[in-house]
Amino acid sequence: DIQMTQSPSAMSASVGDRVTITCRASQGVNNYLAWFQQKPGEVPKRLIYAASSLQSGVPSRFRGSGSGTEFTLTISSLQPEDSATYYCLQHNSYPWTFGQGTKVEIK
Amino acid sequence: QVQLVQSGAEVKKPGASVKVSCKASGYSFTNYLIHWVRQAPGQGLEWMGVINPSGGSTWYPQRFQGRVTMTRDTSTSTVYMELTSLRSEDTATYYCAREVEAPTANDALDIWGLGTMVTVPS
């Protein structure tokens, strides 16, 4: 099974800060990598697919990058509504695996 | 509009089974795979497996093999996920989500159901 290691597990940042979340795969997943945002009590929402493609309707401050085994989700200017937990998902091979999540809080 | 509508919350005794439904609408049912993901309270997301509504083929991770069964009813565009031998650790919200059925589409889990809470008291 492919292990997905996300870092950090939690972070606190100020409005306007640049935030970077990393996801490392135990083996290559090509670019079959997606990022999801989940707010408390809500359904996960896809932000990025195919490692770097922005989901329609998602603000452009969210950017995905990377390939192979290392991927990054960047929020260029953190907004109050971005307070949430973020998950990566590899869907290159079964079983699919999620990262453990990164909780982003606003200072 | 495109949506996945799931069945309501369930409370089950240890050792019992639960069957959760996920009804698709607004798109061609057999053109998308349906995946199941669960989330225990305060925990992360866990992938449980997938069904292809077109032919009914399934894939389950080893940890759920023998306990989970996914089926579909093409006449009602509904997918079912049954989990047996329930234990308290199965208490979670269970989500269905779709993936376009194309070998290189790279377009997974764009639409999710609202989730079904399953509680198994200890």
- For residue range B71-81, list pLDDT tens digits in order: 999 999 999 99
| DSSP 8-state class, residue A97 | E
- Check: CB of residue B108 under 8 Å from CB of residue A89: yes
Q: Which residues contact B47 (CB under 8 A, 6 or more apart)?
A: A89, A95, A96, A97, A98, B35, B36, B37, B61
What is the pLDDT, as a whole number, of residue B102? 85
How far is A49 from A60, CA to CA, in rounded Å?
14
**Chain A residues whose beta carbon lies within 8 Å of the beta carbon of residue B116:** none
Is the Cβ pair A43, B112 closer than 8 Å? yes
Distance from CA of B114 to the nearest CA of A (A): 6
What average pLDDT is seen over chain B? 97
- Check: CB of residue A3 under 8 Å from CB of residue A55: no
From the centroid of its chain, how far is CA A28? 17
Q: Which residues contact B28 (CB under 8 A, 6 or more apart)?
A: none
Alpha carbon of A102 to those of A23, A82, A84, B95: distances in Å? 10, 12, 8, 20
What average pLDDT is seen over chain A? 97
- Per residue in B14-48, pLDDT (tens digit) is 999 999 999 999 999 999 999 999 999 999 999 99
Residue among B50, B90, B53 nearest A96 (CA): B50
From the centroid of its chain, how far is CA B118? 12
Q: Average pLDDT of A70-98?
A: 98
How far is A38 from B76, CA to CA, in rounded Å?
30
Residue contacts between A and B (CB atoms, under 8 Å): 59
Residues of A with CB under 8 A from a CB of B: 1, 31-32, 34, 36, 38, 43-46, 49-50, 55, 87, 89, 91, 94-101
Distance from CA of B33 to the nearest CA of A (A): 13
